[in-house]
Structure 1
Amino acid sequence: MAILTHLPRQLLPTTPGRLFLLLPATTRAFSALSRPPPNYPGHVPLTTPERVLLGAGSALVCFFNPRRADLIAACGEATAVPYFIYRLRDAMLRDATGRRILRERPRITSKSLDLAQLRRLRDGSVGREYVRWLDRERVSPDTRSAVRYIDDPECAYVMQRYRECHDFYHALTGLPVVREGEVALKAFEFANTLIPMTGLSMFSVLTLKPRERRRMWATYFPWAVRNGLGAKEVINVYWEEELETDVDTLRSRLGIEMPPDMRSIRKAEKERQRREKEMMKGV
């Protein structure tokens, strides 16, 4: 069984004064019982049938159990090649900040970010909104799985970067970590990044309650498509350098408008249902 292994990019001269980016590739045959050495720590080379089975199987399980973060990660990697992760990498190469991120390869963890310092930043700053969102949702930047199934080391970093920036997208949009909020954010991410896993996650709308599905179709999907397509590509945000930036200023710069406050809507809905139940008891 053969797969394509992408070699490092080379810039070769063509016509005078012009350079074209070429992506040379070689074909290397291997089987599940005889794998080539990993291209980076933790890398697991997959044959094409293995990749197809991993993508389909993990997508199916995640549809019924969206809390399986490990399988969501596996699905994202298995379905991102051979095209989509290279498209996202190339989007970074076309942007000055994106190129710098690829060159410096920063990581977003509780060690690289001083969360205590972020809590002391002024209200309304990106860093303060980010850590407030982490505290409110009781999540940590250290929970993101390491990339394993993408062969190209640079593209593996792009996927890792996308994964570690996900909580910043939550903080930027205010969408909570509930199934409804995740579906809405994945729709935004799909429109902005075209990563297939984010598009597949949108099918989870079928598992929502009827009123949540109506809200998604009427409000959050239109918001996600409009803002995902219209905004600058969020993969090119150097979040570590924007921590003291006013969050509204960053939203304006990226072209992102806040969606309706899902947390407040859900809270008001639960309160209304509680009052209706009490009224029914009193009848």
Structure 2
Amino acid sequence: MGGWHQLYPGHIPTSPLQKALLAAGSAVMALCDPYRHDMVAVLGETTGCLALPNLRDKMKNHPEGYRILQERPRIRLSTLDMARLQGLPDGSLGREYVRFLEDNKVSPDTRMPPKFVDDEELAYVIQRYREVHDLMHTLLGMPTNMLGEVVVKWFEAIQTGLPMCVLGAAFGPVRLSTRKLQVLATELVPWAIRSGLNSSCVLNIYYEQRWEQPVESLREELGIFPPPAVPV
């Protein structure tokens, strides 16, 4: 059985049938409870076989993205100088990222390591996608409540093509109130789609070297339109 060995720490080799079963089971669990991040992670890995190589190619064909693939930076508490980021000016990417983490009581260390991606480089690509997810919230000006998550998922679905994001974008709104659904449909989703289509690939930004850059400047560089207000 060639290739059936561990490609990176934590890797679990699986057959196409096993991946299909894992995808189906994790999709059901994730739809029942969108906050089951472990199930969302499994779904992303078992259904990303087409999207992940495409994302890797986008990174390889971009100077900054290529450097990220070569250097394999990680966004974790152990790699972040939190005191320095807290001391940066208001409006800078680093300061607003830390503010987002503090306000929403989230940590970059909660991101699941990949297990079911049968390619070591693609495993890093999905790891990177997960670790910049909170930076997407920061760039898009979206909170971590269900409304904010759905908006980010729409943007990520357009950007990445990952079926997990498409599923989250499509089924995430089912728990929202009528008022929030109306704002989502008329303002937030159209903005997220336009921004996702207009923006260059968000995985091609070496965020760790951009902490001092103003968020507004990075939005303009990427092509993300100014975010609309989100109802509480």
TM-score (norm 2): 0.97
- Secondary structure (helix, strand or coil) at the match of 2:76 reads coil
The corresponding residue for 2:202 is 234
The corresponding residue for 2:55 is 88
Q: Structure 1 unaligned runs (5+)?
A: 1-27, 30-34, 267-283
More strand by share: 1
TM-score (norm 1): 0.80
The corresponding residue for 2:23 is 55
1:199 maps to amino acid:
V
Mapping for residues 1-283 of structure 1, pairs under 5 Å? 28=1, 36-81=4-49, 83-202=50-169, 203-262=171-230, 265-266=231-232
- Percent sequence identity over matched residues? 44
CA RMSD in angstroms, aligned pairs only: 1.2
- Secondary structure (helix, strand or coil) at the match of 1:89 reads helix
- Cα deviation for residue 255 of structure 1 reads 0.7
The corresponding residue for 1:24 is none
- Cα deviation for residue 246 of structure 1 reads 1.3
1:117 maps to amino acid:
R
For 1:134 and 1:162, locate their aligned partners in 2 and report how far apart those are by CA, in whole Å. 17
Relative contact order higher in (CA < 8 Å, ≥ 6 apart): 2
1:251 maps to amino acid:
R
For 2:72 and 2:122, locate their aligned partners in 1 and report how far apart those are by CA, in whole Å. 11
1:41 maps to amino acid:
P
For 1:72 and 1:107, locate their aligned partners in 2 and report how far apart those are by CA, in whole Å. 20
The corresponding residue for 1:277 is none
Alignment length (residue pairs): 231
- Cα deviation for residue 261 of structure 1 reads 2.2
Q: Structure 2 unaligned runs (5+)?
A: none
The corresponding residue for 1:269 is none
For 1:168 and 1:135, locate their aligned partners in 2 and report how far apart those are by CA, in whole Å. 13
For 1:246 and 1:179, locate their aligned partners in 2 and report how far apart those are by CA, in whole Å. 27
- Cα deviation for residue 204 of structure 1 reads 1.5
1:106 maps to amino acid:
P
- Cα deviation for residue 94 of structure 1 reads 0.9
Q: Which has the larger radius of gyration?
A: 1
